[in-house]
Chains A and B, each alone.
Chain A
């Protein structure tokens, strides 16, 4: 409890900053963006497999950013941040996927012509 007036620079979160990781986060983001751009513009794939591939690339990008930029790992400093991030996954699933499921039925049943 008695850790006194420490300079913000000494905080472990800040101490863990690393140029290499930030740059690689940037490069990773850029690279994935370019790849998905090519996939989309190339038009070689069917619509559904384009979506799948973009989705996979986006997932890699998100995980990469969480690890490289936000430093979400299992160290003592970051463990609770990581836990919170992981706990949001079911919530995102519930709120978005279940909502989509619900609206799909709703549309089918109440919109003219259904869909």
Chain B
């Protein structure tokens, strides 16, 4: 219907009959399938064996608690990161194998072990999922988890919307997993090069999978941004003026303003492409009046703000970790806020540096080149602020600090190469080379390092016990080694002229560098193992590694450390009053670290609801039906979504109140537990003497 489709289509099953004549098969897909079935099967079996389905449904799948939603976001992200890592390993090993005309070819490939189409699918899905389904959900998860705690709110402004965002993201991730086994994926790069993504040039279902993954996750990010911005503007604890808001929350603000203003652009660009592919319009076609450069323009109008969307929260992590482990306040909180907002603003003015070579000429290129370099100013401010924070500080090299320092070091390499690429004359020779690939991986590694720092840093807050230090350090050094071995040779290969996205390397002299990259990948693999082991060991020994007080690192500074580890579902026993932009440090200084407020009051809480997951189900099914063009299922799903929302609109029983005395009872129990644990190092409740760290922490 609508379009001239290649291959079969029927009204009942859409394009699904295409699956009957299998085009291409590969043992790797069987391996991945086995892995997914094994992993998923183990989880399902464990849930059934321990009779946990009810718990899962009640406590997690229908929750609107921002902390649980945040944790689920992070889990989705980490699982996708794990899958993305496999693809990276495949690309690296394939390229190292497919060097020169005499290189062997197996599994249907002339060289290496992946056919050109298959490796195109792999680098496309790798980029798409790493950016939109791994890094973005992890960062959104952290913002969900930490921001309400940092600003002293009981939950997000719109808890229901929050759960909707989570389930949309989960559906996008699910769609990505389905595409691995059913049909194919796009081969047109994560940016979706037009007109290659048009139906004439990509007649399969791959591009459609890519389209719907982008579309769903972009809508999820938009609603998440609305929610976080409203939360920060409207739900700060009394006394917390905007300028007193902790720096991570400020980066979340910058990031979400970027998201709110730029993701709708992606939605529109992808919607236009969808119209091209589904109803035959000519927005981005090469003929028929289309303009495929306009797609590139629209994509990067979103795409560059998106890269700052992912880097700002990472800067926020670093800015929280460094003061804690330097035992000093962040140097110049105010300038950090302005630098953050400046980066967010500039992010809108630079998109054309992704297509300098398109040919719009010196005037345009100069404008965008200068605009791009401007971002170095606020970024420089940040780096100096971090350095001055450490200067004359009492620096402790615990694992979170290692990750943060690694991140700042990487910023030098990534930022410098960015500046080089921002010079059009250099860009003309390096565009589309692996130099660019090394640049942006360098940048994303900053984010990855900051993320692992944040995981270690806030893990005791979220779960009440520490991650194992020793394995954490091993993980860090392996990951660092992997990064150096993969990306230093990649920079070199870029200078040697190696273009990106190659399935065959014609230049045998590049082989040694490619082999070094494989060594790096091996180190990465070992680091993944260390991380899994670290989490396992830490969970196993959790009793031994319990956090004793609310302040897991003893020198933390912001408000999230002023409640229990893990925080109860209502976050704070009583709404905290804020006196300083380093509230917890201020309280420590003034010996006010007691978690016992003067009095408790009734607290208004949202109730769990199954509506978001049901909505997610309809969206997920809709997108699969859309990929396979089964119109009637799409129609039913739209009706289902509308009906679900109408149902929600009439749901009256959506909240409840925790009475003050009940709150007091719950809090007393928790405080008793702390007293219990803190017997030998009495410091938490304040009723047991002065805090022991008081002496050297100063504001």
Contact = CB atoms under 8 A, between A and B. Distances in A.
Contact of B154 (A1, A80, A88, A99): A1
B297 interface: yes
Given A88-B261, A95-B265, A99-B297, A2 B655 contact: no
B364 A101 contact: yes
Interface stretch (B5-13, B355-363, B431-439): B355-363
A95 B297 CA distance: 9
A4 to B, nearest CB: 6
Contacts of A106: 293, 358-361, 364
B660 to A, nearest CB: 11
20 contacts: A1-B235, A1-B603, A1-B604, A2-B604, A3-B604, A4-B657, A88-B261, A94-B349, A95-B265, A95-B301, A99-B297, A102-B352, A102-B360, A103-B297, A105-B364, A106-B360, A106-B364, A108-B361, A109-B359, A110-B359
Contacts of B385: none
B42 interface: no
B310 to A, nearest CB: 19
Given A2-B603, A94-B349, A105 B363 contact: yes
A92 to B, nearest CB: 10
B652 to A, nearest CB: 8
Contacts of A80: 233
A98 to B, nearest CB: 8
B359 A91 contact: no
Contacts of B153: 1
B560 to A, nearest CB: 17
A6 to B, nearest CB: 11
B602 interface: yes
B575 A1 contact: yes
B601 interface: yes
Given A1-B575, A4-B655, A105-B364, 16 more contacts: A1-B154, A1-B603, A2-B604, A3-B604, A4-B604, A95-B348, A101-B364, A102-B297, A102-B364, A103-B360, A105-B363, A106-B293, A108-B361, A109-B361, A110-B358, A110-B359
Interface in B223-281: 233, 235, 261, 265
Interface string A78-115: 00100000011001001100010111011011100000
A30 B301 CA distance: 35
Interface in B601-628: 601-604
Interface in B565-612: 575, 601-604
Contact of B361 (A1, A94, A105): A105
Nearest to B291: A103
Sorting the interface of chain A by its residue count into under 10, 10 to 19, 20 to 34 or 35 or more gives: 20 to 34
A74 to B, nearest CB: 16
B361 A91 contact: no
B611 to A, nearest CB: 17
Contacts of B265: 95
A4 B293 CA distance: 52
Interface of A: 1-5, 80, 87-88, 91, 94-95, 99, 101-103, 105-106, 108-110
Contact of B348 (A1, A94, A109): A94
B477 to A, nearest CB: 43
A2 B359 contact: no
* Majority SS at the chain A contact face: helix
Interface in B658-684: none
A100 B353 CA distance: 16
A101 B363 CA distance: 10
Given A102-B360, A109-B360, A2 B601 contact: yes
Interface string B282-306: 0000000000011001000100000
Contacts of B358: 106, 110
Q: Which of A3, A87, A105 has the most CB of B within 10 A?
A: A105
A108 to B, nearest CB: 8
A105 B367 CA distance: 13
B360 A105 contact: yes
A110 to B, nearest CB: 5
Nearest to B293: A106
Contacts of A105: 360-361, 363-364
Contacts of A108: 361
A91 to B, nearest CB: 5
B383 to A, nearest CB: 27
A95 B361 CA distance: 18
A2 to B, nearest CB: 5
* Most chain A beta-carbon contacts within 10 A, residue among B352, B364, B657: B364
A101 B153 CA distance: 45
A108 B657 CA distance: 66
A80 B604 CA distance: 24
Contacts of B604: 1-4
A94 B348 CA distance: 8
Contacts of B359: 106, 109-110
Interface in B325-353: 348-349, 352
5 nearest A-B pairs in the assembled complex, by CB-CB distance: A106-B360, A105-B360, A110-B359, A105-B361, A102-B360
A89 to B, nearest CB: 12
A35 B592 CA distance: 68
A88 B261 CA distance: 8
Contacts of A91: 261, 348
Given A106-B359, A109-B360, A5 B352 contact: no
Contacts of B601: 2
A18 B297 CA distance: 42
Nearest to B655: A5
B51 to A, nearest CB: 35
Contacts of B655: 4-5
B301 A2 contact: no
A3 B602 CA distance: 11
B247 to A, nearest CB: 22
Interface string B351-384: 0100000111101100000000000000000000
Contacts of A102: 297, 352, 360, 364
